[in-house]
A = this chain, B = another copy of it.
């Protein structure tokens, strides 16, 4: 089983790259250490390395580097290792690792609609390739990956919250037998870099994709704030200190293009494809919050 999981992971990486390169994307090398990274309000602890007289944050997502990179190439992606020091209580959610790899992509001048279509097509391509290459093994495991029709259904955050309350993610995921989008998050539910819809103040032009069958979040993304004054306003509204984001603000003052993109976790995708109990089964050397590692 361990070998099959590694082979499927490898095939997912290959299929994703193949799909994206055919769409004109350029693969960037990941960033591990940086003076600034994703604030990630739900995971306050930061992994920090001290070197050369300054602190370097381990990447929690490549969001700001993606925004900078689309100045150079219009469509970029990276297989980006993220370190997120989740609280040890998350050890048993079956969905959290404190080190994982995110396929993170961004498109210059893109709108949310275009990125959602890209996400659906990327996901379906990967499912198709895994079905084609590992059909027999999936059958032996009793795992069925149907041909999910496009477009995937959508609900607004407001609708989801109204029906299921704050923990709507797993409830919605359980209820659906195809992937389902959640769109239009309220401003205080997300990071400052998701773009606020100025025609609908307080609502963001963003989205999450949830897997069916209770597997939870697949991908998360949106359009981005790119103007320095908007970024500053959003940082302050979030209760963060703009001084900590000086390098981002400087970049925005030099000029960042509008863009949109998403990130999709590879380990959670492999868990879903193979129908595994726990995301930690996807890694030879899983990094589970609060758990000591053998190697």
Known contacts A21-B10, A72-B2, A284-B69; A81 and B27 CB within 8 A of each other: no
CB-based nearest B residue for A267: B29
The stretch from A41-49, A114-122, A162-170 touching chain B is A41-49
The stretch from A204-212, A227-235, A236-244, A285-293 touching chain B is A285-293
Least Cβ–Cβ distance between A102 and chain B, in angstroms: 11
B52 close to A83 (CB less than 8 A): no
Interface residue total, chain A, C-beta cutoff 8 A? 62
Question: Quick check: is A73 within 8 A (CB to CB) of the other chain?
Answer: yes
Question: Quick check: is A177 within 8 A (CB to CB) of the other chain?
Answer: no
Least Cβ–Cβ distance between A273 and chain B, in angstroms: 15
A65 close to B31 (CB less than 8 A): no
A68 touches which of B3, B29, B31, B295 (Cβ 8 Å):
B295
Chain A 100-136 residues near chain B, CB threshold 8 A: 101
Residue numbers in B under 8 Å from A17 (CB-CB): 13-14, 17
Stoichiometry (number of copies) = 2
Chain A 235-264 residues near chain B, CB threshold 8 A: 247-248, 250-251
A72 touches which of B3, B27, B36, B267 (Cβ 8 Å):
B3
CB-based nearest B residue for A77: B10
A9 touches which of B9, B27, B81, B83 (Cβ 8 Å):
B27
| Chain A to chain B contacts (Cβ below 8 Å), 9 pairs | A3-B72, A7-B26, A10-B26, A10-B27, A29-B101, A29-B283, A30-B81, A33-B47, A52-B290
Please give the residue numbers on chain A whose beta carbons come within 8 Å of chain B beta carbons, in ascending order: 2-3, 6-7, 9-10, 13-14, 17, 21, 26-36, 45, 47-49, 51-52, 54, 56, 58, 64-65, 68-69, 72-73, 76, 79, 81, 83, 85, 88, 98-99, 101, 247-248, 250-251, 266-267, 283-285, 287, 289-295
Nearest 5 interchain pairs by C-beta: A10-B27, A10-B26, A47-B49, A32-B81, A29-B101
